[in-house]
Amino acid sequence: MRTKFYFILLVLACFLLNAQALQTGNYTSSDGNYTVSIEQSGDEISLIEPNKSNIYKKTTSDYYYNTEPKYNTYYIRLVGNNKFYSGKNDGNEFLFTLSSTNPSETIESVDNCPLYDKYLKLSQEDPVEVQAWTFCGAAAIAKCTYNAEASQAYNKTIIAGLKAILEDQNRCPCEDVIPKSEWDAVPNY
């Protein structure tokens, strides 16, 4: 009798462990550079990226797959109810962790970045300063899509590029996307 009870308990525990479901919300990659929105419904996971949406279908206990015929087969591997790995067959895996349970919180992207639009317009209207405005547009994208730490790291390259082409290296042409403290931290040429 006791053995039968433990066997039933073991089967139930295995079933519950395999029945993981992700919490609905926004998930951010471990490097902080990318955020996606996730919603799970039964054997399907909807993954919404800043530029597209995909449905991943369950195939094994913790794996969900999506095939894009022109590119590759991608997967989501659950490792809990608030984190997963994502990757493609024969590629690297990336860890994503729940960063917000508010599904109405927008994922920042170029489509929702007025600062990028500002510098895109300037680059199209001012051919003399097109390089500077393009650098500023890149910094705007970083501000809209990266976390603060990743944006700051990316901006170091942007600032170096800007300072290489500007006559006055002490003045940032886009202080709304590159803070003065970051600008001043990169040496002049």
Give the mean model confidence (pLDDT) for residues 26-51: 85
Domain ranges within the chain, ordered by starting residue: 21-100, 110-185
pTM above 0.95?
Answer: no
* Strand ranges, E, within the chain: 25-29, 35-41, 44-48, 53-58, 63-68, 72-78, 83-88, 93-100
Tens digit of each residue's pLDDT (9 = 90 or more) over 65-93: 999 887 789 999 999 999 999 998 888 89
Give me the CATH topology for the region 21-100.
Answer: Lipocalin (2.40.128)
Give the least confident one: 12-21, 69-78, 160-169: 12-21
Give the mean model confidence (pLDDT) for residues 8-30: 65
| Phi/psi-derived region of residue 50, left when phi > 0, alpha when psi is between -120 and 50, beta in every other case | alpha
